[in-house]
Amino acid sequence: MSDWDAIVGQHGRLVWRTAYRLLGNHADTSDCFQETFLSALSAARKQRVENWGGFLQRLATARALDRLRYRLRQSGRGGHRSDEAAVPCLAPGPPLQAEAQELNEQIRRALADLPPKQAEAFCLHYLEQWSYQEVGQHLGIATNAVGSLLHRARAGLREALSSVASGQES
């Protein structure tokens, strides 16, 4: 059995940072944090975990993307999140802060609309700075396939964000 206090103490900040970077608010990040460690506990009962940091980061990324997709489904049904955290902005003034928050939300929506493996590969490589080899190992694909996934993810994000910029958002 693993020493969970030590694992949470050693990797908790990494899990929080990973989830918060994608979700952008404390309530969802807190839920994602708990879900990540519950999933890790369940997985650790079935298999031996060699790299807790990488394993937890991958779980946190997957849980955060799931939560983003859920948020999009809810907003499509008329739900609205009023507890979104303000995006820190160095430039003064509420209009710039509102623009930055809106852009962050558009990026989150675009990420949530990507196929799961593309979104996960994108987050692990570009947000968490994982190498192609590390991403490939964790997703169970060849290293050169990671490049293809990332290319498709970038193209999907570019398309989604350009349609938003041109006012064609659905």
Indicate the domain borders of the chain.
1-77, 115-170
- Contact predicate 29/113, CB 8 Å: no
Q: Distance between CA atoms of 128 and 146, rounded to whole angstroms?
A: 15
Q: What is the CATH number of domain 115-170?
A: 1.10.10.10
Give the three-state DSSP class for 110: helix
**Whole-structure pTM value:** 0.59
Contact 120, 139 (CB under 8 A): yes
CB 122 within 8 A of CB 153: yes
As a whole number of angstroms, the distance between CA 137 and CA 48 comes to 16
More confident of the two residues 157 and 168 = 157
Question: Any idea what DSSP says for residue 140?
Answer: T
Other beta carbons within 10 angstroms of residue 82's beta carbon come to: 4
1-77 in CATH: which number? 1.10.1740
Q: What is the 3-state composition of the chain as percent helix, strand, coil, each rounded to the nearest 5? A: 75, 0, 25
Q: Which residue has the tokens 């968490």?
A: 128
Q: How many CA atoms lie within 13 A of 145 on its CB side?
A: 11
* Position 164 confidence tier, pLDDT thresholds 50, 70, 90: low
pLDDT above 70 as % of the chain:
84
**pLDDT reading at 86 higher than 90:** no
pLDDT at 167: 63
CA distance 150 to 121: 6
